[in-house]
Amino acid sequence: MSTPAQPQPTVYLGGRFIPASEAHLSVYDFGIVLGATVTDLLRTFRHKVFRLEDHLRRFYDSCKYARMLPPLSAQETAEITTEIVLRNSGLLPPAADLAIVYFITPGENTAYAGSAAAGQATEPTFCIHSFPLPFRLFCRFFIDGLHLVTPSTRHVSPQCVDPKIKHRSRLHWWLAEQEAHLVDSSAMPLLLDLDGNLTETSGSNLLLVKNGTVLSPTPRNILLGISRKVVWELCVKLGIPFVERDLQVHDALTADEAFVTTTPYCMAPVTRFNGVAIGDGRAGGPVFERILAAWSAEVGVDIRAQVLHGTRKEQATG
Amino acid sequence: MSTPAQPQPTVYLGGRFIPASEAHLSVYDFGIVLGATVTDLLRTFRHKVFRLEDHLRRFYDSCKYARMLPPLSAQETAEITTEIVLRNSGLLPPAADLAIVYFITPGENTAYAGSAAAGQATEPTFCIHSFPLPFRLFCRFFIDGLHLVTPSTRHVSPQCVDPKIKHRSRLHWWLAEQEAHLVDSSAMPLLLDLDGNLTETSGSNLLLVKNGTVLSPTPRNILLGISRKVVWELCVKLGIPFVERDLQVHDALTADEAFVTTTPYCMAPVTRFNGVAIGDGRAGGPVFERILAAWSAEVGVDIRAQVLHGTRKEQATG
Amino acid sequence: MSTPAQPQPTVYLGGRFIPASEAHLSVYDFGIVLGATVTDLLRTFRHKVFRLEDHLRRFYDSCKYARMLPPLSAQETAEITTEIVLRNSGLLPPAADLAIVYFITPGENTAYAGSAAAGQATEPTFCIHSFPLPFRLFCRFFIDGLHLVTPSTRHVSPQCVDPKIKHRSRLHWWLAEQEAHLVDSSAMPLLLDLDGNLTETSGSNLLLVKNGTVLSPTPRNILLGISRKVVWELCVKLGIPFVERDLQVHDALTADEAFVTTTPYCMAPVTRFNGVAIGDGRAGGPVFERILAAWSAEVGVDIRAQVLHGTRKEQATG
Amino acid sequence: MSTPAQPQPTVYLGGRFIPASEAHLSVYDFGIVLGATVTDLLRTFRHKVFRLEDHLRRFYDSCKYARMLPPLSAQETAEITTEIVLRNSGLLPPAADLAIVYFITPGENTAYAGSAAAGQATEPTFCIHSFPLPFRLFCRFFIDGLHLVTPSTRHVSPQCVDPKIKHRSRLHWWLAEQEAHLVDSSAMPLLLDLDGNLTETSGSNLLLVKNGTVLSPTPRNILLGISRKVVWELCVKLGIPFVERDLQVHDALTADEAFVTTTPYCMAPVTRFNGVAIGDGRAGGPVFERILAAWSAEVGVDIRAQVLHGTRKEQATG
Amino acid sequence: MSTPAQPQPTVYLGGRFIPASEAHLSVYDFGIVLGATVTDLLRTFRHKVFRLEDHLRRFYDSCKYARMLPPLSAQETAEITTEIVLRNSGLLPPAADLAIVYFITPGENTAYAGSAAAGQATEPTFCIHSFPLPFRLFCRFFIDGLHLVTPSTRHVSPQCVDPKIKHRSRLHWWLAEQEAHLVDSSAMPLLLDLDGNLTETSGSNLLLVKNGTVLSPTPRNILLGISRKVVWELCVKLGIPFVERDLQVHDALTADEAFVTTTPYCMAPVTRFNGVAIGDGRAGGPVFERILAAWSAEVGVDIRAQVLHGTRKEQATG
Amino acid sequence: MSTPAQPQPTVYLGGRFIPASEAHLSVYDFGIVLGATVTDLLRTFRHKVFRLEDHLRRFYDSCKYARMLPPLSAQETAEITTEIVLRNSGLLPPAADLAIVYFITPGENTAYAGSAAAGQATEPTFCIHSFPLPFRLFCRFFIDGLHLVTPSTRHVSPQCVDPKIKHRSRLHWWLAEQEAHLVDSSAMPLLLDLDGNLTETSGSNLLLVKNGTVLSPTPRNILLGISRKVVWELCVKLGIPFVERDLQVHDALTADEAFVTTTPYCMAPVTRFNGVAIGDGRAGGPVFERILAAWSAEVGVDIRAQVLHGTRKEQATG
C-alpha cells in the first residue's frame, strides 16, 4: 500500500534485512496460534540504544525460560540492533527517537494449525523491527498524570507464565483494560495478583513514594523493567531509599506520590488510583521530579520536553 | 509458493472470500501483539459440519466475555461456514474431512505496536478458514493411547482468563508441553489448576471411568468441549452415570479407564498417566468402546477407522 | 423530636416494648465497638409474617455460630414478632407491608470501650423493630433491572466470618459499593470470593439461568437466603432444574437471564453485568416471569405491582 | 443515670462539645447497620497526647481508604483533641491518663435501615471522646504475661478490608476470642492470616525476639501500630536489629522472647503461646526490659509502675 | 518378653508367617526413615473379615499412587488375610473381634539411613498383622459422644500427599491432637483443609445431618472410608438423602446431628464441636440410630452392645 | 547376623549404650505408626562434631514445636554425642568421617497400633546413632553437578507441619522423587510450595547466584540448614551479598550459578534444572568455588577431595 517513492523502515526477519512492507507471519506461526511469543522493547536516546546490554540479558533469559533458542547469539543480536537503528533513524525527524522490538516464536506449525500444541515447529521465527516513539500519545501522562484502576481481572500467576518474562500471551491485559475503561475511558488497569497484591500495568512498573521512601512490588509478580532498574540506580545515587515488598491497594491510596516507569517514556506520574487523588492530586511530586531530572541529565535529553513538544532539549550531562 | 495451477482453499477474511495464499495478518494486529484472539474449531463428518449450533453459541459467548464484537451475526457466520465447507471440501479426497477455524481479534493497533495495550484498535479482524483433518497424526492415539503428564506449570486461573473461552494466549501450554516432553517426547501435558485439581490438555477434555461412572473435572477450569458434551449425551442415552467433581492425580492413577475428547478425532484412550499404566494399560476399555461405537453410529462414520486408515467406513446410523 | 400527637412504631429492646424514639444503644455496646451484631430481616405479605419459621431457624443458627445466647426462646421471639407486626401494621397504609429486624449483640462493654475485645460484656442486647418496606426505592429494579459490578474488593472468607450468618461487620460491603459506583452510580457490587467465584450482593442472592436451568453459587460463600429457598421450591414445583455450583464471571456474562432474590422485594431482574447486557438486556426473562408469577400466587399479592404502584393487587392463590 | 452533681466527660459529636450522657447514635447509623466505622485510639502521658501526628496521619489515611471524608481537617481534629484532653483530664486522679477515641461513619441511612448498603447516607458521623485508661485491667499482663492462642478463625484478608486501617467490622475478633477462651479463659487470640502467617491480636502487635533480633510480621496483615513504630525507633537507637518477615507458629514457639505493643499499655510480655512457655516462661526478657526502660525514659513515666500501681513514678528523661 | 507357654499372634512379614515377638523392622527401613508407609485397616465381625474386597481395592490403589509394588497379588493378600484371621481368632474370647493391619514400605535403605531420599531401596517391606479390637477404649464414644475440635493445624493438601490414600506420614495429626487437647483432654481434632473446609479426624470420617439429609465433605480432602461407604449404602436403602459438598465449621455447629464412621467401632455420635453442643447435645440422634440399627442387622452383631459390654448380642439379619 | 568377631557401632537408645545390632523399635512405636519422629543429622570433620551447638538448638526447637520432651537436657545430649563419636570413630578408616543421627518419637502406643492417634504413648523413644559418611555416593555431585526437577507434587505447607523442623513424615518426598525420576533417573526433586515458590530438596537447601548475589528462598518453606547458615556466614566474610526472597522457577533457570548445601557433603553444584543447563552448565562456578575453598579452610579439610577420593587432604586453616 506504500508507494515505492517513500523510503520505508528496515525489518530483520528470517535472517535477512527486508522492507517493513514485506514483513509477514504465517497464520500457522505458533506465535499466532498459541501466542507463544517472547519479546523485548528497547528505545534510543539521541539515536543511541539505551541499556542494550540489560535488554539483551533479559531477552535471552526470557528465551531460555520459554525454551526458544534464538538463531543468533546475543552479540549478533546487538550488532543487528545497531544496524536497524542506523538504517531507520535516518527516516526520523532529528528530535525523534526509535522504539526497537525483538520477538521470537517457535516457528510455523508444519502439520496444521487447528489443534495447537500437538504439531511440530519449524525453525524459530526471529524478528527485529522498529517504529518511531509516538510521543504525542504520552503527553497527557505528563500533564494530567495517569489514572490507574484495579479491575477484578487478576494478573497471571508465575506458576503459569512467569511475569518476569516479556511475552505476548496477554489476553488478560486486554480484558483488564476493557474493565478499567468502565470506570474511566482513559484509565489504565493496574493488576492485582491472586493474593491481592499490586503488580504492574500492561506496559509499565508501578512505584510508590511514602515518607521519602520509594516502594516497589516484589519481583514475584512483575517484569523486572529496565526503566525500573534505572530508577533504582538513580535512587541509590540520590540517597533515596528504595524498598521491595508486597504492596496492597491501601498503600497506593495513601501514598504521597506514585509513578510508573516504562521504556517508551521513561516515567510518568500517577495522579489518581481507583478514582482517588494520590497525594495532592497533581502530576509530579518532589521525588518524581528529582529522579526525572537525574535521568534526563544522564541521557542528555530533557525527557519530559521531548514527550511534550516532540523536541529534544539537550541537557548538560550530570 | 503454491503454483497457480493447483486449486487452493478459500479463506474468509476482512469480509471477503480470498485464496489462502493471500491471507495475512498485520504484525500490528492485536491478535499478534497481545495474543488477544478468540477462536473456535469445528469439524465435518462426511463433509457436513458437526454441531454447528453448539460451536456458534460457544464462540459468540467467548466473544461476549472477551468484549470483541463479531462483524457478523451468528446466522451469517453459519452461512459463511457452510460456504467455506462447500468450497474447500471439493479439494479433499472423499474419505477425508475438514477442520474449520474461526478467529477474531480486536484488529490492528493503528498507533504503534510496541507498547501493546495503550493503543486504539481498528475494526475487529474476523477470519474463517479450514484445513484437512490430519488423521495420520492421530493414529498412535488409537493404537497406543495417550501418555498424559502433569507438569509443574499450572493452568491459568479463571480470575485471569476464563478457560471456558477458547483463545490463543496459550504460552503456558507451550511451556507445559516442553516440560512434559522431558518425561516422554510423545507425552501430552495435563495441567493442574492452582489448587492441584485435574483440568484438561491443550486441545482436549479428560474423562475418567471408575466403577462404571464417568468422572469429569468441573466447569471451573476447563473448556466446555462440544465433544465432551456429545459424550455426556451419549452416556445419558447408554445409562452410564456422568459426574462432575474436583478430581486429583490420585483419581487418574487409580481409574479403571481414562480418555480424552476433542473435535479433530472425537475421543482417544489414555493408557499412561505420569508413567503409570491406567487400568490394564491397554487402549480402549469397555466404557470407551461403548461410547465410541454410539458416536460412530450417530454420525454414520466409523471414527476409529477413519483415523487409522484415512477411510470412512460407513456405519448404519443407530 | 417526634411530636406526641403522631403515633410511632413500637420497638422491643431490653426486654420491653418501647416507642421507637426511645430506642438507643450505648456507644460502648459491643455491637458498635466491634460490629459484633447478628441480625435477621423478615417481611410481611398482607400484614402476615412470611416464612417466620425459616427466619427463626437461621437467626438462632447464626446466634449459635456467633456464640451469642438470645435471652428469649425461638417460640418467644415468634410471639413478640407477631406482636410487633400487630402494633406497627396499624400505622401503615393498607397496601403497604412491614420489614422486621432482629438483632443481638454481646451487650455493653462494662470496662471501657477503647481496646475492644479485652473487656467483659453485660447481658446481650436483643432488639426487634420494624419499618415500612420502602417500595419506591425498588421500582427501578423492576423497570430497568439491576446493574451488577464485580469490584476488586472480595467477599470475606468463611474462615473469618461465615457468610452463612447474617451479621453487621460489613465494612467490605461499603468499600465494594463505593468501588462499584465508580462504574455506574446506580450499580450494585456483586462480590467475588477469594478464588474468583461469584457470591452475592450485600442484600440479595444471585441466580443465573442458562439453557433452562437455574444456577446458583454454592453455600460456601453466601447467605442461604430464605427468598432463594422459596425460588428453589418454586422451581421444583414448576419443573425447572436448580443447580448449585461454583460460578465465575463468564457464567454471568453469558447467561440467558439473571436475577436476584431478597426479602424486601422478593426478586428483581439483572440486566447488566460489568457493563455488558445479560441476554437481550431487557428486564424479566421467561424463567424469571414464571417464578415471579408463582410466588405472587402463593402469597396472594402481585409482587411487582406492589413495588411499582405501592398497591397490593390481590391475586388468586395458585 | 449519672446525677447532675457529678461532672461528666465531654464528647465531640455532631460538630459540638456535649456531655457524655447525651452522646447517642441513631440505630440507623451506617456505623451500626454496617459496622462501617473507621476509628483510632490515642493516649496521654502526663496528660499530654502521645504521637498525635502519627495517629492523625493513620486516621486520615484510613478515612481516605474507606472513602469517608472527615468534616474537619487534620489540623482542626488536632485542636479538638487537645481541647477534649484539657476538659477531661481535669476529672482524672493525677496519676491517671486518658485514652482518646476518634470514630467516623458514613452517617445515618435516611431511607431505612433494613437492607443495608442500598440506602443513602446523610453527613458523616464524626466523634471524639475519651475515657480513663483502665490500668487495673492490664496488671496481670505485666505480672504473668499474656497467653496467646491461635484459633482456627483467621484474620480478614487485605483483599476484603485492609488490616492497615483501624475499623469496627470486627466480628471475626469476637469469634476468635470465644475460641481462644476454650483453651484458657484468660488467653487472647493471635490470628493467623489465610496462609498461616502470624498477624496480630485484636488490640496489639506481636513482636518476637530470636538471637538478639526483633522479628515482626510484615505490613500485609497488620495494623501499623504507632506503639510498634515507637519500639522500632527505640530498637534503632539501642542497636537492636528489627526485621519484618512472614512468621509462622514455629517462630513464636521457638522464640527467646515475645511481647505485644499497644496504645493503652505500650508493651507487655507474652509468656505462653498455644500452651507452650516462651523462652524460660517468665514475664519480661532482657530485650523487652531494655526497650521498656527506654520508652519510659522517653515519656518521663515508669510505664510498668503506672499500670501496676496506678501511680506515675516520674522518670528522668533519657 | 512373652513367656513361651503363652500362644502369640501370627504375623505375616518378609513372605513368611512368624510369631509377633519376632516381627521387627530395620531402623533403616524407608517406612521409618521417611514415614513412607502405605497401610490399611480391616476388622472382623464374628471372626469373618468385613468388606475385604473394598479394603483390597483401596490398599492396591494406594500402593499404585505411592508407586510401591506389593509382592503379592490382591488374591494372594486375601488368602493370607483369611489365614491370619483363622490363626489369630483362636486366641480371642468368643465375643471379641480382630483388627487386621496391612502395611508396605519401599524397604530398607541399603546405603545409609541418614540423608533419606537419596539412597536405594531393597525389596518392599510387606506385613499383615492383627490385634484384638480394644472396645473398652471406645465405650465413652457411645455414652458421651465425641468432642471434635478444629485446631489451627491444617490437613495436608492433596497436592502433597493425597488424603485418599491411607499412609503413615502423619505428624500433622500428632500436632493437631496436642493442640485439640489444650481445649479438652478427651477431644479429637477435626482438621480443616487449607481453604477452611471440614475434612476428617485422624481415624474417622465426619458426617452431619441437617433437615433429614446426611452431609459429607467431598472426596478431595478425606480418606474414602469403607465405613462411610457402608453408611452411604444404608442411607440409599433407608431412603435418607446423602450429599457430598464443601462443609464449613458453621455447618457442623448448626447441624441437627453429627457422627463419625470408622473401621474399629463403625459409627459414633459427635455431641460437641468446638465446645458447642450439637443438636440437643445427647449421644445418638434419630438418623444415627436408624443407620446403626441397619448396620447391626446387616452384620448380625449389635455393634453398640459389643463395644459397651464386650459381648456380641447376636442380631437377626435384616 | 553380624559375627561377634567384628566390632560394631554403638547406639544410644532407651537410655543405654547398646550395640547397633540390638537396636530395634516396636512396630507400635508412634514413630512408625504415625511417622511422628523428630530428627537431626550432624557430621564430623576429622572426627570432631561440626557445629554441635547449632544442631542442638535446632533439634530442641523442633522437639518443642512437636511437643515431644527429650528425656535428656541439651547438655547431656551433647555429652552422649561426643561419646558416640569417640566410640564409633575408632571403627572408621582415618580419612573417613561420621554422620550422627538424633531421633525422638512419642514412644510406643500401649493400647493398640491400628487406629493411630487415639491411643496413649509410653515414654518418648530417644535415639542417637551414627554411620560412616558414604562419600562414594556423593562423587557424581561434584563431577557432574546435580540435576534438579520440579515435580507436580508440592511441599507440605507450614500450616500442616512446619518445614523448619526436621522430621520423618516424608512420604511427599518419596512421591516427588519417583516423579522426578521420570525425567532423569539421577535427578533430585526440588519442591515448589503451594504458591509455586522454590523450596528445597529432601536433604539440602538450594542457593542461586545472580549478578554476584547469593539468593535463597525465605524461611517460610525450608529447613534452616546449618550448612546454609555456614555459607551465609562465609558470604558475609567474603563480601558476597546474601539475600532471602521468594524465588520462582524462572530465577533458577536464569541463574548464573546454583548449588545446594547439606550436612553430609557440605555443598554441591547444580548444573541442570528441569533439563536446562544452569549458566554454562559446568560444575562449580566462581562463587561456589570461593565459598567451598573458604569452608575447607575453616575446617582444615579439602571437602571436595574427601568426597572424590575418600581421603582427607589436610588444609591450612584460613
| Chains C and E in direct contact, meaning 3 or more beta-carbon pairs closer than 8 angstroms | yes
Residue F116: predicted pLDDT? 37
Query: Which alpha helices (DSSP H) does chain F contain, by range?
Result: 30-33, 52-66, 74-89, 139-143, 171-183, 226-238, 249-253, 286-299, 303-309
CB contact under 8 A, B250 and E162: yes
How far, in Å, are E7, E13, E46, E97, E128 from residue E90 at the CA level?
10, 20, 12, 10, 17
Measure A220 CA to nearest chain F CA, in Å.
Answer: 7
- The torsion of the CA quartet B263, B267, B271, B276, rounded to 10 degrees, works out to 50
Residue D315: predicted pLDDT? 61
Give the span between the Cα atoms of B129 and B101, in whole angstroms: 5
Percentage above 90 pLDDT, chain F: 83
Residue of D nearest to A255 (CA): D61
Tell me the pLDDT tens digit for each residue of A241-297. 999 999 999 999 999 999 999 999 999 999 999 999 999 999 999 999 999 999 999
Tell me the pLDDT tens digit for each residue of D145-195. 999 999 999 999 999 999 999 999 999 999 999 999 999 999 999 999 999
Question: Which residues is C153 bridged to in the sheet?
Answer: none
pLDDT band at D110 (very low <50, low <70, confident <90, very high): low
Name the pTM for this structure. Answer: 0.95
pLDDT band at D34 (very low <50, low <70, confident <90, very high): confident
CB contact under 8 A, C248 and B67: no
Give the span between the Cα atoms of C125 and C107, in whole angstroms: 5
CB contact under 8 A, E67 and B276: yes
Give the span between the Cα atoms of A262 and A266, in whole angstroms: 5
Question: Which residues is F50 bridged to in the sheet?
Answer: none
CB contact under 8 A, C160 and D153: yes
Produce one character per residue of A31-43: b if its CB has 16 or more CB atoms within 10 Å, e if not.
bbbbbbbbbbbbb
Task: State yes or no: pLDDT of D111 exceeds 80.
Answer: no
Residue of A nearest to F252 (CA): A65
Residue of A nearest to B161 (CA): A172
pLDDT band at C24 (very low <50, low <70, confident <90, very high): confident
Residue B257: predicted pLDDT? 98
Task: State yes or no: pLDDT of B206 exceeds 50.
Answer: yes
Give the span between the Cα atoms of B219 and E246, in whole angstroms: 16
> Which residues in chain C have their CB less than 8 angstroms from residue E248's CB?
158, 162, 164, 220
Task: State yes or no: pLDDT of B316 exceeds 60.
Answer: no
Task: State yes or no: pLDDT of B131 exceeds 90.
Answer: yes
CB contact under 8 A, A245 and D61: no
Mean pLDDT score, C283-293? 97
Subunits touching A (CB < 8 Å, at least 3 pairs)? B, C, D, F
B contact set with C (CB within 8 A)? 61, 64-65, 67, 157-159, 162, 164-165, 218-220, 244
Q: Do residues B217 and B225 touch, judged by C-beta distance below 8 A?
A: no
Give the span between the Cα atoms of D296 and D50, in whole angstroms: 13
| Chains F and A in direct contact, meaning 3 or more beta-carbon pairs closer than 8 angstroms | yes
| Chains D and E in direct contact, meaning 3 or more beta-carbon pairs closer than 8 angstroms | yes
CB contact under 8 A, E165 and B248: no
E contact set with B (CB within 8 A)? 61, 64-65, 67, 157-159, 162, 164-165, 218-220, 244
Nearest to F183 among B154, B182, B196 (CB): B182
Residue of A nearest to F195 (CA): A159
Where does C184-255 show beta strands of DSSP type E? 188-189, 205-210, 213-216, 242-244
CB contact under 8 A, D152 and E192: yes
Q: Do residues F19 and F7 touch, judged by C-beta distance below 8 A?
A: no
Mean pLDDT score, A59-63? 98
Higher-confidence residue of B119 and B9: namely B9
| Chains A and E in direct contact, meaning 3 or more beta-carbon pairs closer than 8 angstroms | no
Give the span between the Cα atoms of D150 and E192, in whole angstroms: 14
Tell me the pLDDT tens digit for each residue of C82-134. 999 999 999 998 889 999 999 999 998 766 543 334 445 579 999 999 999 99
CB contact under 8 A, D64 and A246: no
pLDDT band at B300 (very low <50, low <70, confident <90, very high): very high
- The torsion of the CA quartet C166, D26, D12, D42, rounded to 10 degrees, works out to -10
C contact set with E (CB within 8 A)? 61, 64-65, 67, 157-159, 162, 164-165, 218-220, 244
- Lowest mean pLDDT: which of A95-104, C220-229, E158-167, F305-314? F305-314
Nearest to E250 among C157, C158, C244 (CB): C158
Tell me the pLDDT tens digit for each residue of A106-163. 998 766 543 334 445 579 999 999 999 999 999 999 999 999 999 999 999 999 999 9
Task: State yes or no: pLDDT of F216 exceeds 80.
Answer: yes
Measure A183 CA to nearest chain C CA, in Å.
Answer: 5
Give the span between the Cα atoms of D250 and F124, in whole angstroms: 21
Nearest to A253 among D64, D158, D244 (CB): D64
F168 closest CA partner among F50, F69, F61, F66: F66
For chain D, what is the largest distance between any 2 Cα atoms, rounded to a whole number of angstroms? 59
Subunits touching E (CB < 8 Å, at least 3 pairs)? B, C, D, F
Task: State yes or no: pLDDT of C174 exceeds 70.
Answer: yes
CB contact under 8 A, E254 and C61: yes
Percentage above 90 pLDDT, chain A: 83
The list of chain E residues with pLDDT below 70 reads: 1-6, 110-121, 313-318
Residue of E nearest to F168 (CA): E34
Residue E207: predicted pLDDT? 98
Q: Do residues B119 and B135 touch, judged by C-beta distance below 8 A?
A: no
Q: Which amino acid is at C197?
A: N
**What's the 3-state SS for C235-251?**
HHHHCCCEEECCCCHHH
Residue E318: predicted pLDDT? 41
Nearest to B250 among E67, E158, E218 (CB): E158
Task: State yes or no: pLDDT of F122 exceeds 80.
Answer: no
CA angle B259, C215, C262 (to 5 degrees): 160
Residue D116: predicted pLDDT? 37
Residue F38: predicted pLDDT? 97
B contact set with E (CB within 8 A)? 192, 195-197, 245-246, 248-251, 253-254, 276
Q: Which amino acid is at B263?
A: T
CB contact under 8 A, E275 and D182: yes
Give the span between the Cα atoms of F207 and F252, in whole angstroms: 9
- The torsion of the CA quartet D55, D57, D60, D65, rounded to 10 degrees, works out to -110
Residue of F nearest to A68 (CA): F276
> Which residues in chain D have their CB less than 8 angstroms from residue E275's CB?
182
Task: State yes or no: pLDDT of B61 exceeds 90.
Answer: yes
Residue found by looking up cell 471406645 in the block: E138
Q: Chains A and F: how many Cβ contacts under 8 Å?
A: 33
Measure F155 CA to nearest chain A CA, in Å.
Answer: 14
Residues with Cβ within 8 Å of F57's Cβ and at least 6 positions away in sequence, in order, are: F74
Measure E65 CA to nearest chain C CA, in Å.
Answer: 28
F133 closest CA partner among F313, F314, F299, F310: F310
Residue A119: predicted pLDDT? 47
Give the span between the Cα atoms of F316 and F293, in whole angstroms: 11
- Lowest mean pLDDT: which of A44-48, B230-234, F313-317? F313-317
Which of F169, F188, F262 to mutate: most E Cβ within 10 Å?
F169
Residues with Cβ within 8 Å of C46's Cβ and at least 6 positions away in sequence, in order, are: C97, C299, C300, C301, C312
Mean pLDDT score, F36-62? 97
